[in-house]
């Protein structure tokens, strides 16, 4: 199967492309390289440009008339940046996605798998969250993802496309073959911040220690990015059985079904890295929640998929990626 992957030079998109290749599929990658890495698309079918460029979409479809599905990962994803630049985020994530979807519709590409986020959920009690849980996105980034979900749902209801929205929890780790990895030099996710603190000899601050969790720190569902990528492969392979004429739009959680607190993650990181990292307590940040873990019954049932790798697997692969990046001659 040939699959168009937007954002396929980024951390998650490139990993999905590798999983597609390993499963015998052919990814066609569209990325503007604003954050993605050219090295991630070496040897792959690649188009450099914007998802909003309808002429480019037409050219891609003309060159590859056998594309059967689209995985839409392209987006701006930095939460603090979205708070400072909400118009930029709504333009890039919502307006450009609508332009993409219109071009895909005109081209007859109607199978869409969308990269969404668990940041849509309220997540205020540290418990499990199913797909029908209340939504309370707290940033322009999260709200932009929710807006695209609504666009997809409405378009699917009108018969213009069919779509699966995959709500990611907290991806960590890298491709087991180390073909790609994180692209952000100043990460804002917790494992990246642990790595940065260790490399800089700075303390790591646990923001908020009075949450209703087992140790007071926030709780997250850390899913290995390779498990996440394999779920996308299953989504395109099983697309026609997951979304039907009676149910043209589906939302699926992607997580492990178990939570890890920030304190627990920090302890595992220190154990795996042997870094003399000092962990300190800090106040809650505006917009933070206790967090939650995914209820994954729907993904397990519809995709015949389950997360198999552990949090420690993710930490170890992330550490090895950083070692390789910092010592490219090895």
- pLDDT band for position 183 (cuts 50, 70, 90): confident
Q: How far apart are CA 21 and CA 182, in angstroms?
A: 19
Q: How many domains does the chain have?
A: 1
- pLDDT for res 201: 94
Task: Read off the pLDDT of residues 215-236 as tens digits, 9 standing for 90 and up.
Answer: 999 999 999 999 999 999 999 9
Within-domain flag for 314 = no
Lowest mean pLDDT among 7-16, 131-140, 147-156: 131-140
Lowest mean pLDDT among 86-90, 151-155, 187-191, 279-283: 187-191
Task: Read off the pLDDT of residues 98-112 as tens digits, 9 standing for 90 and up.
Answer: 999 999 999 999 999
Q: How confident is the prediction for the chain on average, in pLDDT?
A: 95
Within-domain flag for 59 = yes
Does 126 have pLDDT greater than 90?
no
- pLDDT for res 329: 57
Within-domain flag for 196 = no
Within-domain flag for 25 = yes
CA atoms within 13 A on the CB side of 109: 27
Within-domain flag for 113 = yes
Per-residue pLDDT, averaged over 137-146, amounts to: 95
Within-domain flag for 140 = yes
For residue 49, give its domain range.
2-173+221-256+292-308
- pLDDT band for position 290 (cuts 50, 70, 90): confident
Which residues, 6+ apart, have CB-to-CB distance to 164 below 8 Å?
A: 112, 113, 114, 235, 239, 242, 243, 249, 250, 251, 252
Is residue 47 annotated as a catalytic residue, yes or no?
no
- pLDDT for res 212: 92
- pLDDT band for position 328 (cuts 50, 70, 90): low
Higher pLDDT, 78 or 254: 254
Does 278 have pLDDT greater than 70?
yes
Question: H or E element: which one contains 63?
Answer: helix 54-63
CATH number for position 63: 3.40.50.720
Q: Which residue of the set 141, 168, 249, 293 is catalytic?
A: 141
For the question of whether the overall pTM of this predicted structure is more than 0.85, the answer is yes
Within-domain flag for 105 = yes
Q: Are 73 and 16 in contact (CB under 8 A)?
A: yes
Does 189 have pLDDT greater than 90?
no
- pLDDT for res 6: 98
Within-domain flag for 264 = no
- pLDDT for res 330: 54
């Amino acid at each position: 199967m040939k699959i168009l992957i937007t954002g396929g030079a980024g951390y998650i998109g490139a990993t999905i492309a590798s999983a597609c290749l390993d499963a015998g599929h052919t990814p066609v990658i569209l990325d503007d390289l604003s954050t993605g890495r050219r090295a991630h698309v070496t040897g792959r079918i690649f188009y450099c440009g914007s998802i909003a460029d309808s002429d480019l979409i037409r050219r891609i479809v003309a060159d590859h008339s056998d594309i059967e599905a689209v995985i839409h990962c392209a987006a701006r994803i930095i939460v603090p940046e979205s708070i400072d630049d909400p118009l930029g985020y709504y333009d890039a994530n919502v307006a450009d996605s609508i332009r993409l979807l219109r071009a895909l519709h005109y081209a007859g590409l109607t199978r869409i798998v969308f990269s969404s986020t668990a940041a849509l959920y309220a997540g205020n009690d540290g418990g499990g969250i199913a797909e029908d849980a209340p939504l309370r996105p707290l940033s322009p980034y999260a709200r932009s993802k929710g807006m695209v979900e609504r666009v997809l749902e409405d378009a699917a209801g009108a018969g213009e496309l069919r779509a699966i929205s995959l709500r990611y929890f907290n991806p960590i780790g890298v491709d087991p073959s180390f073909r790609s990895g994180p692209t952000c030099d100043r990460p804002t996710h917790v494992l990246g911040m642990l790595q940065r603190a260790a490399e800089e000899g700075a303390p790591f601050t646990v923001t908020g220690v009075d949450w209703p969790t087992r140790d007071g720190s926030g709780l997250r569902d850390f899913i290995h990015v390779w498990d996440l990528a394999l779920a996308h492969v299953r989504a395109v392979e099983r697309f026609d059985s997951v979304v039907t004429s009676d149910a043209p739009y589906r939302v699926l959680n992607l997580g492990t079904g178990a939570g890890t607190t920030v304190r627990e993650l920090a302890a595992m990181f220190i154990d795996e890295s042997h870094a003399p990292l000092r962990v300190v307590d800090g106040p809650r940040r505006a917009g933070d929640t206790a967090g939650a873990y995914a209820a994954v019954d729907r993904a397990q049932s519809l995709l015949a998929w389950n997360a198999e790798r552990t949090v420690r697997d993710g930490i170890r692969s992330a550490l090895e990626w950083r070692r390789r990046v910092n010592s490219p001659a090895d």
